Chain A
Amino acid sequence: MTDVSVKDLGDDLAVPDPVQPKSRLRSVFARDRKAQVGLFIMLFFTLTAILAPLIAPYDPNEMTLDMMTNPSGTHWLGTDDLGRDLLSRIIWGTQISLFVGVSTVALALVGGVILGVVAGYYGGWIDNIIMRYIDLQWAFPNFIIAVYLVAVFGTGLLNVIVAISLAFLDDFARIARSMVLTLKEEQFVDAARVQGFSDARIMFRHILPNALAPLIVQATVSVSYAILGEASLSFLGLGVNPNTPTWGLILADGRSFISQAWWLGVYPGLAIMLVVLSINFVGDGLRDALDVRETGS
């Protein structure tokens, strides 16, 4: 995030202060109970993911003869049909979920922003080509795009990440483009042009920092969609490879046994819901803080 401060203004005289997200954020998070809870849960799961090797009580793939045992002192969340410890599997699953969520959105953000900024800044035939593609992608629900891409290119962690991020590309491109369209008429852009800065510099150093607020909100919400998307793909057998403990896959594996072992159907989903809920709480707080109108997408 480029934060333009006074010392930079020496050579970019005309650059106005972009939204000062930090100070506004701090005041909103101080008041918004929901966002605080969200942040706390996010922190909890992030730590869980990082510390998984240390805190997981068992090897997530170690099969034992204690099959489908009830939650108890030895296995807090019970075991699955192969005698694997459910808690350990869920703890390791946190890594995959968060990794997919964050890396997917990072890719989609970078790709979408470049497309959108270029389209909005140059206009003309470049805009036309990019926007026709974006419109085409708009004709599919995001999840269907991801399913189709995985169907074509195959399953596996990397493919899932690429598929979901491609599916999100149009959302970011649209937002970036519309922000650029309004901002490029501003005087500070003319001023930058007069100073002879390159197009790339004007686009990414001058315009983009002023368009960050809606992109930040969209990115936050998209992380939750990405996590849900990965879980759904894995649940359908189109996600990461079998044997990798991910929340979607744990649920899919446990599905056949839920009438005897309810915990296999309950806890992995609870983990997904808590993470997604916390991101939505934080996203909502950010939306209020940065004053971005809800688009509903």
Chain B
Amino acid sequence: MASYILRRLIGSLLVMLAVATLVFFMIRLVPGDPIAAMLADSGGPEAREALIRKLGLDKPVLVQFWKWFIAMLQGDLGNSIYGNNQPVTTILIEALPRTMSLAFLSFIIALVIAIPAGIISATRKNTATDTAVSLFAFLGLSMPDFWLAILLIIVFAANLQWLPAIGYVPLAEGFWPWLSHLILPSIAIGTGFSAIIARMIRSSMLEVMQADYMRTAASKGLTMRVQMLRHAFPNALIPVVTVIGIAFALLISGAVVVENVFAIKGLGRVLIQGIQNRDYPVVQGAVLVVSAFFVLSNLAVDLLYAVIDPRIRYS
């Protein structure tokens, strides 16, 4: 087990290094002249020379890469070339808790909807309830998250005025202000996610309910409730956990779009604003952090998989 964890850790690290390399070289493929774009015809040739030297672009690409890489390992991702030239790391550290809060809450909302929905539709297979859950799942899968976000704003912010339509308040300024700003965006992201998990739980439950140990449980005279919640559900969760890993991608992609609807300055908004401002150090940094988040959460899922299913042995 320990060697398996170590191997997976090293593997993830290698992927991250490869990702960093790819991100660095991709941005150098940008067609056109980024320097001209940065200066935005505000400087002559001298200003241009100075900027090129300041950014180290007069050096060979491999030297640039090496410098960037060493700096990155020390947590220095360069400075934003826009506005007041904040260090990219500072921008990202500010953004990260917002995206994490959003992802965490979306995840909770998704599970709260998906677990009962999945169990109920499996135990009442082919009833009206099952059909309703299935239809809800299809709708959830098909609805663009940014559209759901807009609908939620129209209903709960613009008309009912129950919840704020935009912005973010840190947890330090109180639980309710923090939560109230995150509820609508989290529902917007979590709904699609819950649809995937509910469908998985349903099909996994249906499979598990055919197992021999379920017949044993029934013949022991256990109530339906105990059979389902103690015996079927925990076993049904095993395949679901792997899907959760894949669905993290949806959560992150959802955050990128939905943060922009609600003007929450998380990783997604930083990324998109960086692109709009042609602020390449910021774009580079944001993409790195997003993929790190994704790689690490997949790693966590794989390890969790080993923990919850003792039948799996890793050598």
Which residues 248-302 of B have a CB within 8 angstroms of A?
Answer: 248-250, 252-253, 256-257, 260-261, 271-272, 275-276, 283, 287, 290-291, 294-295
Q: Does B61 contact A (CB under 8 A)?
A: no
Tell me, in angstroms, the Cα distance from A140 to B291 when the chains sit together: 5
Tell me, in angstroms, the Cα distance from A139 to B199 when the chains sit together: 25
Total interface residues in chain B, CB < 8 Å: 52
Stretch at the interface among A48-56, A191-199, A255-263: A255-263
On chain A, the residues within 8 Å of B260 by CB distance are: 236
Q: Is the CB of B142 within 8 A of A273?
A: yes
Q: Is the CB of A281 within 8 A of B154?
A: no
On chain B, the residues within 8 Å of A104 by CB distance are: none
Q: Does A111 contact B (CB under 8 A)?
A: no
Total interface residues in chain A, CB < 8 Å: 44
Q: Is the CB of A266 within 8 A of B253?
A: no
- B 201-220 to A, binary, CB cutoff 8 A, 1 in contact else 0: 00100000000000000000
Smallest CB gap from A148: residue in B: B287
Q: Does A144 contact B (CB under 8 A)?
A: yes
Stretch at the interface among B23-31, B69-77, B225-233: B23-31
Q: Is the CB of A152 within 8 A of B143?
A: no
On chain A, the residues within 8 Å of B257 by CB distance are: 232, 235-236
On chain B, the residues within 8 Å of A151 by CB distance are: 275, 283
Stretch at the interface among B92-100, B110-118, B145-153, B171-179: B145-153
Q: Does A297 contact B (CB under 8 A)?
A: yes
Residue with the highest number of chain B CB atoms closer than 10 Å, among A144, A237, A259: A144
- B 12-55 to A, binary, CB cutoff 8 A, 1 in contact else 0: 00011011001100110111000000000000000000000000
Q: Does B139 contact A (CB under 8 A)?
A: yes
On chain A, the residues within 8 Å of B141 by CB distance are: 276, 280
| A-B contact number at CB 8 A | 132
On chain B, the residues within 8 Å of A150 by CB distance are: 275
On chain A, the residues within 8 Å of B5 by CB distance are: none
Would you call the interface of chain B mostly helix, strand, loop, or mixed?
Answer: helix
Contact of B18 among A136, A148, A237, A296 (CB under 8 A): A136
Contact of A152 among B29, B139, B142, B276 (CB under 8 A): B29
Q: Does A17 contact B (CB under 8 A)?
A: no
Q: Is the CB of A142 within 8 A of B139?
A: no
B43 nearest CB across to chain A (Å):
23
Q: Is the CB of B19 within 8 A of A259?
A: no
Given the known inter-chain contacts A143-B256, A232-B146, A251-B147, please indicate yes or no for A238 contacting B272, CB distance below 8 A. Answer: yes
Contact of A144 among B144, B148, B196, B253 (CB under 8 A): B253
Q: Is the CB of B253 within 8 A of A152?
A: no
On chain A, the residues within 8 Å of B144 by CB distance are: 228, 231-232, 235, 248, 269, 272-273, 276
Smallest CB gap from B258: residue in A: A232
On chain B, the residues within 8 Å of A152 by CB distance are: 26-27, 29-30
- A 223-248 to B, binary, CB cutoff 8 A, 1 in contact else 0: 01000100110011110000000001
Tell me, in angstroms, the Cα distance from A144 to B288 when the chains sit together: 11
Q: Is the CB of B138 within 8 A of A139?
A: no
Provide 25 A-B residue pairs closer than 8 Å at the C-beta atoms, listed in order of the A residue.
A136-B19, A140-B19, A142-B253, A144-B253, A144-B291, A148-B23, A148-B287, A151-B275, A151-B283, A152-B27, A152-B30, A232-B253, A235-B146, A248-B144, A251-B146, A259-B154, A265-B147, A269-B147, A269-B151, A272-B144, A272-B147, A273-B143, A280-B138, A294-B200, A294-B203
If A144-B256, A273-B144 are given as contacts, then 14 extra A-B residue pairs at C-beta distance below 8 Å, sorted by A number, are A136-B18, A139-B16, A140-B19, A140-B291, A143-B256, A144-B253, A147-B271, A152-B27, A153-B29, A255-B261, A265-B153, A272-B144, A273-B139, A273-B143
Chain A residues within 8 Å of B, Cβ to Cβ: 135-136, 139-144, 147-148, 150-154, 224, 228, 231-232, 235-238, 248, 251, 255, 258-259, 262, 265-266, 268-269, 272-274, 276-277, 280-281, 284, 294, 296-297
Q: Which 6 A-B pairs have the closest CB atoms?
A: A269-B147, A141-B249, A143-B253, A277-B142, A296-B243, A276-B142
